[in-house]
Structure 1
Amino acid sequence: MKKIPLSLIIFRFLLAPIILFLAYYLGEESRIIILVLMYLGLISDIFDGIIARKAGVSSEKLRRLDSQTDLIFWVSIGVATYILFPILIVENKFAIISIFAMEALCYIISFAKFGKETCTHAFLSKMWGLSLLVAFTSLLSFEYAGIPFYIAVVLGLIAHLDVIFIILILPKWQHDIPSSYHAWQIKKGVKIKRSKFLNG
């Protein structure tokens, strides 16, 4: 059981090149397969953390690997969507650029303060992940951005702001911080409550 979390992370990591390969070589015929792989990737992301916590192997190294794998996985979905529907992505380029800018800002601030990347796995970030699932389902299934896409963008901006506040508030680097409020509690020396389903 202790090896399952790492196996799920590796599985999600390997999905990224497969998704890109399918999009590039099969074109629009790959949409359904990519959608299935996206859902499998999200399921693996949910259960790797839960199982790691139950098995007592939720280490800093594993959580950092999980966080970076998440980034690679979702970027691969985004690139695949661009390969399939470039006009749709270009039409919404400014919203997409704003998300990438916020992601980069999180890394810059975290490296500047702690010398390592952020790994908060915050609650709002998890909600953003679910909104991405809905948005990409809409994009890949119906070639439609609209409301699902812009909800994901707005929630993504809010989630990244929360991560930035977490980084700025924390006195030292930690992983699995549910929110900026919890970071403030940690700074005051208050022991925060964690959920075995959401945070280690």
Structure 2
Amino acid sequence: MINSIPAALVVFRFLIGPFLLWDALDGQTSIWFIAGFVAAFLSDIFDGIIARRLKISTAGLRQADSWADRCLYICVFSSAWLVNKDLVIAFRIPLLTVVFAQLMWWIVNLLKYGKPASYHSYSAKIWGITLFIATIAWFSLDRAGIALWLAIIVGILHTLEEIAMTLILPIWKHDVLSIYHAINLRRQLNTQTATTEN
């Protein structure tokens, strides 16, 4: 029973995204939007922690975790458009830059591995924190300027790092924490290959 907790948290995050979007359909959000988003953010933190503690952090679970994050933030961005499209338009160039960087990330990963990466890197965690702050500022304070800029900059840097990690790693791996770890992992894989061939 306890082993199902990480998967349940991932499913919860899948389900909360559409709820947030539904709450924003009338052009404004209620306290339930913030409560639901905070709950989703906490679920993202604890699903990985619990999975690692239980030693059930599988590739499938980590991929599902990544998809849940994407679903959540697509719904959050759609909600932002419904609630304050003027701010979205004002930030259209930097936001489109992040979208373009993410598109390149998808292309690079699909070309090399045939599927998206699931690194859960340190930079991804930092980006998640900045996205959380920007979202709270946007929907509860109606002032996301500095927080949104920070999330955009961190998002671009994070995406560039993960593209570099994909170019470095010869095979698909999940839970690679940084480009430094990717370089070390590549060396280990090359050493194993050389040993096997000898």
TM-score normalised to structure 2 length:
0.92
Task: Write the distance in 2 (CA, Å) between the matches of 1:81 and 1:37.
Answer: 15
Instruction: Compute the displacement of 1:173 (Å).
Output: 0.5
Equivalence for 1:194: none
Unaligned runs of 5+ in 1: 191-200
Is 1:64 the counterpart of 2:37? The answer is no
CA contact (8 A) 1:31 1:141 kept: no
Deviations 1:83-121 (A, max 9, x none): 100111111111111111111111110110111111111
CA contact (8 A) 1:99 1:153 kept: yes
- SS of residue paired to 1:188: helix
CA contact (8 A) 1:12 1:41 kept: yes
Task: Write the distance in 1 (CA, Å) between the matches of 2:161 and 2:66.
Answer: 16
* Runs ≥4 residues deviating over 6 A: none
Task: Write the distance in 2 (CA, Å) between the matches of 1:33 and 1:127.
Answer: 25
CA contact (8 A) 1:123 1:179 kept: yes
Kindly, what percent of the aligned residue pairs are identical? 31
Task: Write the distance in 2 (CA, Å) between the matches of 1:186 and 1:132.
Answer: 29
Instruction: Compute the displacement of 1:171 (Å).
Output: 1.3
Structure with larger Rg:
2
Equivalence for 1:11: 12
TM-score normalised to structure 1 length:
0.91
Q: How does 1:128-143 map to 2 (within 5 A)?
A: 128-143=127-142
Greater shift, 7-16 or 134-143, is seen at 134-143
Aligned residues: 188
Task: Write the distance in 1 (CA, Å) between the matches of 2:130 and 2:154.
Answer: 8
Instruction: Compute the displacement of 1:142 (Å).
Output: 2.2
- Two-structure CA RMSD over aligned residues (Å): 1.1
Instruction: Compute the displacement of 1:54 (Å).
Output: 1.2
Task: Write the distance in 2 (CA, Å) between the matches of 1:113 and 1:130.
Answer: 29
Deviations 1:142-173 (A, max 9, x none): 22122111011101100101110110101111
CA contact (8 A) 1:123 1:178 kept: yes
Instruction: Compute the displacement of 1:135 (Å).
Output: 0.7
